[in-house]
Amino acid sequence: MLTDKGVILVEGVNRGDLILEPLTRKIYIELGEPSLNDNQADVDRLVAALRKILGPVTVPLTVMRRVPGVLLEAGWRVTVTLGEEASGTLILMDLEPGNTTNRHYGLAVDIGTTTVVVYLVNMQNGQIMGTAADYNGQIFFGEDILTRIYLGSTPDGLEQLQRAILDTLNKLIKQLIKKHNVEAREISAVAVGANTTMVHLFLGLDPSRICKAPYIPTVNSPGIIPAGQLGLQINPLAPVYCLPSVGSYVGGDVVAGVLVSGLHLSPELSLFVDIGTNGEIIMGNRDWLVGCAGAAGPALEGGVAKNGMRAEPGAVDSVRIDPDTGKVYYTTIDGVPPVGICGSGLVDCLAELLLAGIIDRSGRFKDGRDRFVVVPAEESATGQDIVITQADINNLLRTKGAVNAALELLLESVGCDLSDIERFYVAGGFGQYLHLESAITIGLYPDLPRDRMVRLGNSSGEGARLVLLSKQKRVEAEEIARNITYFELNASQAFMNKFVGSMFLPHTNLDYFPTVKEKLIQRGLLYPNSSVT
Amino acid sequence: MLTDKGVILVEGVNRGDLILEPLTRKIYIELGEPSLNDNQADVDRLVAALRKILGPVTVPLTVMRRVPGVLLEAGWRVTVTLGEEASGTLILMDLEPGNTTNRHYGLAVDIGTTTVVVYLVNMQNGQIMGTAADYNGQIFFGEDILTRIYLGSTPDGLEQLQRAILDTLNKLIKQLIKKHNVEAREISAVAVGANTTMVHLFLGLDPSRICKAPYIPTVNSPGIIPAGQLGLQINPLAPVYCLPSVGSYVGGDVVAGVLVSGLHLSPELSLFVDIGTNGEIIMGNRDWLVGCAGAAGPALEGGVAKNGMRAEPGAVDSVRIDPDTGKVYYTTIDGVPPVGICGSGLVDCLAELLLAGIIDRSGRFKDGRDRFVVVPAEESATGQDIVITQADINNLLRTKGAVNAALELLLESVGCDLSDIERFYVAGGFGQYLHLESAITIGLYPDLPRDRMVRLGNSSGEGARLVLLSKQKRVEAEEIARNITYFELNASQAFMNKFVGSMFLPHTNLDYFPTVKEKLIQRGLLYPNSSVT
């Protein structure tokens, strides 16, 4: 089980105050009592009163049925909950006796391929009341996204996967509402940040063409869908808004990240990177946005490296190697005996192996061995050595190479240089825990002045919170999705060329990584003025 | 079983040509095929193309799921069916491969308390393709409307009554689509004319307060409801539009009638009367409209008079009494041996009994008997005399008295005189078959020049057809419902006074009925210059 520490926006991002204009609103209203001289029908009376304040309001049949009873019970003093239809028209979602405007709840949801996080949000003040997280129940059917796309291409498989994510979400929702004394039907809105495939599987849409040229999703902007149509156990009329995708490989989670970073509003050239199963890169400023997604490969996810594992208790999450003695110092999550190595541990390993001179800049063990023992058998929880192998290293190199190549391609396409980048935003839970210096040492992150680098934490969830609470942010999100010029790397020979050329640590051209070059020189691993070993 | 002869608009109403703008439309569209250079998502591609022609379009999840498959199958050449949400926004209801714009069907429905008529309409040209009719399945639970309101006041009873009318409708729809080779999902729109109680029971809304002061319905303008939410077995997204009601006792059937008559567009002062279970009267012109509903009582419906029956085969539907011999001449529906007397037969009886001098102007048998044999036992199918009793006559008098009183009250309220009325519209199946002269003789209809009198036939069904086909007519219907000033007779002492004073045949003041007065004088039943017997 994951802890429920929801990592939301942390360091250094400067957002203005959020103007609260949530996906739904609650309004207390006092109606005149009907009489022989004022015999307007109940629903018409309510609609007319609301129209005066808000304009036209639609009343669904299920709510219409409840109107007379609630009005009579409440003495014509009621609180209405209003949502928006896909078209933007107001819809009467709920009616409660008396004034209940202080109980107004929504959910911000991050559906990751691996992890799902649900934030219970008080929509009256925008605050997060509680967080619940768990693995995506779809993991049972396959850890990687391609397996799920393949399974989701059959109607039965699609139904299984949709049910799995709904079960996960409903379980988390149940935990949250129980803990915070909220009733399910008091949750009147949901915003979702997720990649394109996750959105398809959540909505029960065929994902099969996402991974086949020309890579066409069923939908990028699904708009607003009532919760009841999906099977979310909250108010069945609650609008569920999925952040729009740019394309098959740049999803609503990335749009959320850009939204949270604010780079789309800034005059400065900024870079946004989310490295997970895929690596997504967005570059731009308030005038233009370009983006691409590399099949970064799941080298950093649990279960790929020989002793790789998810960031769970017992995972080696940081590693240091003494360059003189070769002794390994490590820490594990929750300090329990080591079981395996998670992503941040792997990146640390690679960086430290390079800096200790154990591997060369092409990633090969200098002494010809095929593995390095990080944790000896006698210290591990498994009774086996915990190792990083040559194959693991090669995988990591491919991942970082894909990110390098994509970034270079984007820079070239807009005629910019790495040094032009004034902000570098790192998204995702992985980005949150990765050690910055190690990531730079292996060349996964660019070697920029450190004060330009900002971690966004779970920007997919935070982006969902923003669009849950703010109409302005929804407009911005739609604009971001529409305005990103997407480069399809799957079809690019230039990408393949750059990819092959970037399989060195930290990079073929060391001048791109001045601080790493300096470190290597200090450690005697590189002669000054040489740029290739 | 009823025949499926749908009586729709017949004599004398002058409507302009109907501009076809149906509740739904079908459009054939050819989309560009996706490629690496044009990798818009399927749904977004379709929505963008439609937006160019029509503005924003909402795609429900159920349709979204079908989009990729249909587009691929059809080579990006498809026909879309578009409806309107309650708010007026376009909604993508269906998607078919190729060009199917010539198959575009809707239903105009008249839900009467007794009878239900469904018209299958070709929405491409506005023509009625077929008609199916049957008794309202709710009759099983009670013939009169008060019994149904009472039953519908409990959740179980309401569900039973809703299921009954839905079963009736689904049965009729099934008959029609089978006969005319239409698929259920090709029916994309429904318009309904019905009284306020019937609309409530159809939608599953609590009718209990319709019959309790201050007579508040749940809703008068239910707007548009998707067929699937009701359980109509057609396209589940088909908009179901119920003509709006004015109040508890002036329903969408009456608004339909006014719409069909066109009196709301004319400078002439017109009167609209619908006599069934209730008697509804609307008066006005293009500048103003007033209306009321009298508890006319069900004297004219089957099952109330001793030998009363519905207008089925074997019902005595016309009667003449030879004033000299007292011999009775009658006809029956379908010419089969008589079983009972239907409404038009009862009105004929009353008129002929008066003109033959058998009853006096207060409705009493002059010779003190308590019944009159219309059909002797040896001619009847039942082997019993078929009679009209003093109690039947008293009931009929109350009905016509209620209509008289309501009409006088309306005229007084607007300062008009009977002779100011330039058009008199008679609505309803009953109005269609009633003999005009008999209705005037007993004072049920005003004694106006006969060329001012127009029968509208099933104006509830025809009104439904108009709003199914024309947006302009929907706007007019909403305006009619909004603009009718309703007089609540249940609360009026003036009405009771007039009611008591109008229990003479044809009326206390014979000068209101000049042609009847003339007839009575000719037959020696009245002396010239006397106005009261």
Overall average pLDDT of the A181-201 stretch: 97
Alpha-carbon distance of B17 to A530, in angstroms, equals 89
Q: Which residue of A has its CA nearest to B202?
A: A61
Question: What token pair was written down for A110?
Answer: 């991050």
Give the span between the Cα atoms of A310 and B137, in whole angstroms. Answer: 63
Q: Find residues 73-102 of chain B whose CB sits inside 8 Å of chain A.
A: 85-89
Lowest-confidence range among A263-277, A358-372, B9-23? B9-23
Out of A39, A223, A491, the one facing B214 most closely (by C-beta) is A39
pLDDT at A491 over 90: no
Say whether pLDDT at B55 is over 60.
yes
Residues of B in contact with A31 (CB under 8 A): none
HSE-CB at B9 with a 13 A cutoff on CA atoms is: 18
- Find chain A residues with C-beta within 8 A of B213's C-beta: 36
| Average pLDDT score, chain A | 90
Closest Cα partner for B354 from B239, B440, B454? Answer: B440
- Give the model confidence (pLDDT) of B346-364 as tens digits: 999 999 999 999 999 999 9
CA B311 to chain centre: 16
How distant is the Cα of B272 from the closest Cα of chain A, in angstroms?
Answer: 23
Q: What DSSP line would sit under B467-486, residue for residue?
A: HHH-HHHHHHHHHHHHHEEE
User: What's the mean per-residue pLDDT of chain B?
Assistant: 90
Q: What is the pLDDT of residues A410-460, one digit of tens each?
A: 999 899 998 899 999 998 767 778 899 999 999 999 999 999 999 998 999
Asked whether the predicted pLDDT for residue A86 surpasses 80, the reply is no
Which of A383-397, B85-99, B179-193 comes out lowest in average pLDDT? Answer: B85-99
> Residue B5: its pLDDT value, please?
38
Considering A14-23, A32-41, B241-250, the range whose residues carry the highest mean pLDDT is B241-250
- Asked whether the domain spanning A253-295+403-522 has the same topology as the one spanning A105-242, the reply is yes
With a cut of 60, say whether residue B14 has pLDDT above it: no
Phi first, then psi, for residue A427 (nearest 5°) are -105, 170
Name the minimum distance, in Å, from the CA of A488 to any CA of chain B.
8
- Average pLDDT of A491-518? 87
B214 cis-preceded (ω within 30 degrees of 0): yes
B8 against A108, higher pLDDT = A108
B242 DSSP β-pair partners: B192
- Res. B263 pLDDT band, cuts 50 70 90: very high
Question: Kind of pairing, strands A289-294 and A279-284?
Answer: antiparallel
pLDDT, residue A236, reads 97
Q: Supply the pLDDT for residue A5.
A: 38
Mean per-residue pLDDT for A338-351?
A: 94
Name the DSSP class of A417.
-
B359 forms beta bridges with B365
The chain A residue lying nearest B216, using CA atoms, is A41
pLDDT band at A219 (very low <50, low <70, confident <90, very high): very high
- Rg, chain B, Cα only: 26
Pairing, β B90-97 against β B57-58: parallel
How far apart are the C-alpha atoms of B446 and B515, rounded to whole Å?
10
**Would you say residue B501 has pLDDT above 90?**
no
CB atoms within 10 A of CB B62: 14
Of the listed ranges A132-141, B380-389, B402-411, the least confidently predicted one is: B402-411
Could you tell me if A205 lies within 8 Å of chain B, comparing CB atoms? yes
Secondary structure of B146-190 in HEC code, one letter for each residue: HHHHHHCCCHHHHHHHHHHHHHHHHHHHHHHHHHCCCCHHHEEEE
* Contact at CB, A204 and B86, closer than 8 angstroms: no
Of A35, A69, A214, the CB nearest to B39: A214
* B434 vs B102, residue with greater confidence: B102
Contact B216 A61 (CB under 8 A): no
**Using the beta-carbon criterion (under 8 Å), do A220 and B56 form an inter-chain contact?**
no
Q: What is d(CA B493, CA B409) in angstroms, rounded to the nearest whole number? A: 11
Residue A209 and residue B67: Cβ atoms within 8 Å?
no
Band of pLDDT at residue B486, cut at 50, 70 and 90: confident
Q: Is A28 helix (H, G, I), strand (E, B) or coil?
A: strand
Dump the DSSP string for B350-390: HHHHHHTTSB-TTS-BTT--SEEEEE-GGGSSSSS-EEEEH
pLDDT reported for residue A528: 75
Q: Does the domain made of A253-295+403-522 have the CATH classification 3.30.420?
A: yes
Question: Is the previous residue joined to A506 through a cis bond, with omega within 30 degrees of 0?
Answer: yes
pLDDT at A268: 95
Domain covering B13-97 assigned CATH 2.60.40.10 in the classification: no
**Given the structure tokens 């004219």, which residue do they identify?**
B300
> Worst-scoring range by mean pLDDT, A65-79, A339-353, B428-442, B471-485?
B428-442
pLDDT of residue B295: 62
With a cut of 70, say whether residue B371 has pLDDT above it: yes
Tens digit of pLDDT for each residue in B504-524? Answer: 999 888 888 999 999 999 999
Q: Please indicate whether, in this complex, the C-beta atoms of A69 and B206 are within 8 angstroms of each other.
A: yes
Which tens digit of pLDDT belongs to each residue from B443-452? 999 999 999 9
Closest residue in chain B to residue A89, using alpha carbons only: B87
More confident residue, A274 or A121: A121
Count the Cβ atoms, other than its own, within 10 Å of residue B221.
19
Hey, where are the domains in chain B? 13-97, 105-242, 253-295+403-522, 299-395
- Overall average pLDDT of the A97-114 stretch: 96
Q: What is the pLDDT of residue A9?
A: 37
Instruction: Give B289-321 pLDDT, tens digit per residue.
Output: 999 887 655 556 666 789 999 888 999 999 999
Three-state SS at A317? strand
CB-closest option in A68, A221, A491 to B209: A68
Tell me the per-residue pLDDT of A495-506, one tens digit each, with 9 for 90 and over. Answer: 888 888 888 999
The model's pTM:
0.89
pLDDT attached to residue A302? 62
Q: Is the pLDDT of residue B6 over 50?
A: no
B398 CB-near residues (< 8 Å, 6+ apart): B297, B299, B503
Residue contact B216–A41, C-beta within 8 A: yes
Q: Does position A372 have pLDDT exceeding 70, yes or no?
A: yes
Q: Which residues of A touch B89 (CB under 8 A)?
A: 85-89
Query: Around Cβ B322, how many Cβ atoms within 10 Å?
Result: 11
d(CA B139, CA B158): 14
- Give the separation between CA B419 and CA B484, rounded to whole angstroms: 22
pLDDT at residue A7 in the model: 38
Q: How do beta strands A484-487 and A115-122 pair?
A: unpaired
Structure tokens at B295: 């508890």
Nearest to A111 by CA among A94, A85, A135, A84: A135
Of B65, B206, B247, the CB nearest to A68: B206
Q: Are B218 and A40 in contact (CB < 8 Å)?
A: no
Least confident interval from A72-81, B228-237, B495-504: B495-504
Q: Is B517 helix (H, G, I), strand (E, B) or coil?
A: helix
Q: What is the C-alpha separation between B269 and B236, in angstroms, rounded?
A: 43
**How far apart, in whole angstroms, are the C-alpha atoms of residue A74 and residue A71?**
5
The number of CA neighbours under 13 Å toward the Cβ of A431 is: 30
Q: Which CATH class is domain B105-242?
A: alpha beta
Mean pLDDT calculated for residue range B106-118:
95
pLDDT: which is higher, B13 or B486: B486
Nearest alpha carbon to residue B120 among B244, B234, B269:
B234
The contacts of residue B386 (CB under 8 Å, 6+ apart) are: B307, B316, B338, B339, B340, B341, B373, B374, B375, B380
How high is the pLDDT of residue B529?
65
- Any chain B CB within 8 A of the CB of A64? yes
Is A219–B58 a contact, with Cβ atoms under 8 angstroms apart? Answer: no
Chain A 476-515, CB below 8 Å of chain B: which residues?
A: 486, 488, 491
Q: Is B75 left (phi over 0), alpha (psi -120 to 50) or beta?
A: left
How many contacts does A have with B, using Cβ atoms within 8 A? 155
Taking an 8 Å cut-off on Cβ atoms, the answer to whether A248 and B39 are in contact is yes
